[in-house]
Structure 1
Amino acid sequence: ELYSDGPLASHQVQGAQEETILGNQRVFIGGDIIIAIDGQAITSLDQLDVLLTDHQVGDTVEVTFLRDGQKSNVSVELEEEPVR
C-alpha cells in the first residue's frame, strides 16, 4: 500500500487505484509498478516485504519502478508505517 503522506508519494510515485484477488494473490491495478529495491528484482509483495526487513527506519533505498513502460529510479528514506 502506498500511503498518500509516505516517502514514495513525496517522490511522485503513484499508487494503485484498485486492488483485487487473483487466485490467492492480491493484485494491484493501475499506478506505478515497483520492480526493484537496491537493484534486487521484486516479483511479489512477499519478496518486497523480505527485502525491506533487511533495512531499518532511516535507511535510504533505491526504488526502481515502471510508469507507462518507462523505468525510473528514486532514492527514498524509509519511514515508520503510519498508524491507521
Structure 2
Amino acid sequence: MSQQPPASAAAPDKQPLAQQRIDELEMRIAFLEDTIDSLNDQVSTLSQEFLLAKQAMQLMHRKLEQLQQNPSAGEAMADEPPPPHY
C-alpha cells in the first residue's frame, strides 16, 4: 500500500499554479476593461458625429422642400454667373 502525501504537503505545489492563473485572469480583466473604455469612447464619438450628420441631412431636406415649394428661389441662384474657376 503506497502512502500519499498529506493534503498540506500537496497544497504548496498547487498554490503557485493557482496564483499564476489568478494573475493571468487579472491581466485579462484589466485588458478587457481597457478595451471596453476605448470602445465606449469610440461609440460616444460616433454617436455625436451621427447626430451632426442627421441634423445636416434634416437641414438639407428642409431646404429642398422649400425649393420644391418655391421654384423661383432656385432659379435666382441659377442666374448667377459661374465662379471664376470654371
Above 0.5 in TM-score?
no
- Bucket of the pairwise TM-score, normalised by the shorter protein: under 0.3
* Bigger fraction of residues in strand: 1
TM-score by length of 2: 0.18
Higher helix share: 2
Q: Which has the higher contact order (CA 8 A, sep 6+)?
A: 1
Structure 1-normalised TM-score? 0.19
| Larger Rg, first or second structure (1 or 2) | 2
